[in-house]
């Protein structure tokens, strides 16, 4: 299952096409809209979120609430388009009100994108490198999430730090799978601890006052996975590399850790690797989950736990130094309306990317024609693993 998206931040809207979807999967527009709303939320977001109320429109591939095995097309309207119609029109004369963006922002795609595409108007670049595009990903991943829910997999995320404020957890690998997604959504920064939530909000307020921006870290968890998704056989097949690539495809993600991640490099082997045990009812198990559910490029049946780091937002209300692309004189970087912190939203986008990678791995292993056959294949496989453990 894969997707492709198109659409500019201030264009008419965003489009995603999801292909490789099996027939007979129930799809709920309301569920996709709920995920889109989660992506728009989070303390620290900018004015754009007040303009948009993202709603998906499914225009193909779904009939009477179920997939029919064809590509699924999803669109999201940009309400802000009405303010940009002349400046972003696909055709026509250059309007008088057009102001070219000639002061690229450090940390964004502006400068290198302009050099690469031979323009002095960074708008051509920022319209697509803007994280508005991630709304299309979240909508598309709604299909992957429905698939995973149907085969008993739950994917959720929570924020573990914003700037210098971090959630304290004695044993994060033990705690992560048991957090309650509903409780996380009640926190304005999507952090499961009330006291840390408050401190994170204060840090964002201070950053806003100072004309600053903040990054942070978040964790994505998937419960209920079968062992064996992905493969050890070729570099491309390793689920570790596929999930890593998916997460690094999100703008501003600068680090990814599986399980205890970099901490593993500091410990001895016996304090890292997860002892194997067997249980008649549940099959092969581990007594710890430092690996975060992946060994040898495959899921090992334990919860998948992956942590990612997001750099601070590049658009600053106290802008950094840049160079005017027309005059080549020193200038201040442009101040596009912007988020102060988008870590809670990035975590929702990361859920979407992880959901896609996992759904794709399931379909690769169990076929992709229709849900009935896929679920029967998963059941038989689970039964074989249980029998092997007796
Ligand atoms: C959900 C989300 C929201 C973002 N919001 C903004 C924003 O409002 N302003 C901004 O300058 N960058 C924002 N970013 C970050 C930029 O998209 C990102 O820093 C930029 O594309 C360059 O990142 P890269 O070097 O990783 O490609 C956001 C990123 C995400 C994931």
CA distance 203 to 207: 6
pLDDT for residue 389 is more than 80: no
Q: What pLDDT is attached to residue 46? A: 82
98 band by pLDDT with thresholds 50, 70 and 90:
confident
Q: What pLDDT is attached to residue 96? A: 84
DSSP for 293-308?
TEETTEE-SSPEEEEE
What are the chain's domains? Answer: 2-388 (3.60.150.10)
What token pair was written down for 67? 């997939």
Q: What average pLDDT does range 222-236 have in this prediction?
A: 97
Q: What pLDDT is attached to residue 253? A: 98
CA dihedral 312, 318, 324, 325 (to 10 degrees): 20
CA distances from 96 to 13, 87, 370 (A): 24, 9, 54
Residue 239 has φ and ψ, to the nearest 5°, of -65, -30
Pocket perturbation via mutation, ligand 1, pick of 46, 131, 347 by most ligand atoms within 8 A of CB: 131
Q: In the predicted model, what is the mean pLDDT of the chain?
A: 95
The Å distance, Cα 58 to ligand 1 centre, comes to 27
CA distance 155 to 347: 11
SS3 content of the chain, % helix, strand, coil (to 5): 40, 20, 40
The strand pairing partners of 73, in sequence order, are: 17, 60
The Å distance, Cα 129 to ligand 1 centre, comes to 8
Residue 188 has φ and ψ, to the nearest 5°, of -65, -20
CA distance 126 to 65: 36
Q: What average pLDDT does range 88-112 have in this prediction?
A: 93
Q: What pLDDT is attached to residue 282? A: 82
Pocket perturbation via mutation, ligand 1, pick of 45, 220, 313 by most ligand atoms within 8 A of CB: 313
- Residue with the smallest CA separation from ligand 1 atom 1 is 346
335 band by pLDDT with thresholds 50, 70 and 90:
confident
SS3 annotation, 327-383: CCCEEECCCCCCCCECHHHHHHHHHHHHHHHHHHHHHHHHCCCEHHHHHHHHHHHHH
Q: What pLDDT is attached to residue 200? A: 98
Q: What average pLDDT does range 345-372 have in this prediction?
A: 98
Residues flanking ligand 1, CB < 6 Å: 46, 107-109, 129, 131, 134, 250-252, 313-315, 338-339, 342, 345-346, 349
pLDDT tens track for 44-55:
888 777 787 899
In this structure, the number of other CB atoms found within 10 A of the CB of residue 290 comes to 20
Q: Which residues contact 321 (CB under 8 A, 6 or more apart)?
A: 106, 330, 331, 332, 333
What token pair was written down for 285? 């198990």
CA distance 151 to 369: 15
Considering the chain, what percentage of its residues have pLDDT values greater than 90? 91
Q: What pLDDT is attached to residue 100? A: 92
Q: Is 76 helix (H, G, I), strand (E, B) or coil?
A: strand
pLDDT tens track for 160-177:
999 999 999 999 999 999
Q: Which residues contact 251 (CB under 8 A, 6 or more apart)?
A: 129, 131, 134
What token pair was written down for 349? 């986008």
Atom of ligand 1 nearest to the CA of 311: 19
Considering the chain, what percentage of its residues have pLDDT values greater than 70? 99
Residue (of 198, 191, 136) closest to 5 by Cα position:
136
Please answer whether residues 322 and 102 qualify as being in contact, where contact means their C-beta atoms are separated by less than 8 angstroms. Answer: no
- Residue with the smallest CA separation from ligand 1 atom 12 is 313
pLDDT tens track for 12-50:
999 999 999 999 999 999 999 999 999 999 998 887 777
CA distance 35 to 146: 12
The Å distance, Cα 182 to ligand 1 centre, comes to 26
Atom of ligand 1 nearest to the CA of 310: 31
């Amino acid at each position: 299952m894969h997707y492709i998206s198109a659409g500019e931040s201030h264009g008419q809207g965003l489009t995603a096409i999801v292909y490789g979807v099996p027939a007979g999967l129930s799809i709920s527009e309301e569920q996709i809209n709920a995920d889109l709303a989660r992506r728009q939320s989070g303390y620290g977001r900018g004015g754009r979120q007040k303009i948009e109320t993202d709603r998906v429109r499914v225009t193909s591939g779904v009939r009477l609430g179920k997939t029919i095995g064809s590509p699924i097309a999803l669109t999201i309207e940009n309400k802000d388009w009405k303010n940009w119609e002349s400046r972003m029109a696909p055709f026509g004369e250059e309007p008088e009100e057009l102001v070219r963006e000639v002061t690229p922002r450090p940390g964004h795609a502006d400068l290198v994108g302009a050099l690469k595409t031979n323009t002095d108007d960074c708008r051509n670049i920022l319209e697509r490198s803007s994280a508005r595009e991630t709304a299309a990903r979240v909508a598309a991943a709604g299909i992957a999430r429905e698939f995973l829910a149907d085969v008993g997999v739950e994917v959720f995320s929570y924020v573990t730090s914003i700037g210098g404020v971090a959630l304290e957890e004695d044993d994060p690998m033990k705690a992560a799978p048991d957090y309650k997604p509903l409780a996380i959504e009640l926190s304005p920064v999507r952090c499961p601890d009330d006291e840390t939530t408050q401190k994170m909000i204060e840090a964002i307020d201070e950053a806003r006052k100072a004309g600053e921006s903040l990054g942070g870290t978040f964790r994505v968890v998937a419960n209920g996975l079968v062992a064996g998704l992905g493969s050890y056989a070729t570099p491309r097949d390793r689920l570790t590399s596929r999930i890593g690539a998916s997460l690094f495809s999100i703008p501003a993600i600068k680090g990814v850790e599986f399980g205890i991640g970099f901490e593993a490099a500091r410990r001895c082997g016996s304090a890292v690797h997860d002892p194997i045990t067997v249980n008649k009812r549940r099959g092969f198990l581990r007594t710890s989950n430092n690996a975060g559910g992946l060994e040898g490029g495959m899921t090992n049946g334990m919860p998948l736990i992956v942590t990612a780091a997001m750099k601070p937002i590049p658009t600053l209300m106290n802008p950094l130094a840049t160079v005017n692309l027309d005059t080549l004189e020193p200038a201040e970087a442009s101040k596009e309306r912007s988020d102060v912190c988008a870590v809670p939203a990035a975590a929702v986008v990361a859920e979407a990317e992880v959901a896609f990678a996992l759904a794709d791995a399931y379909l690769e292993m169990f076929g992709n024609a229709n849900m009935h056959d896929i679920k029967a294949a998963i059941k038989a496989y689970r039964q074989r693993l249980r029998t092997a453990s007796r």
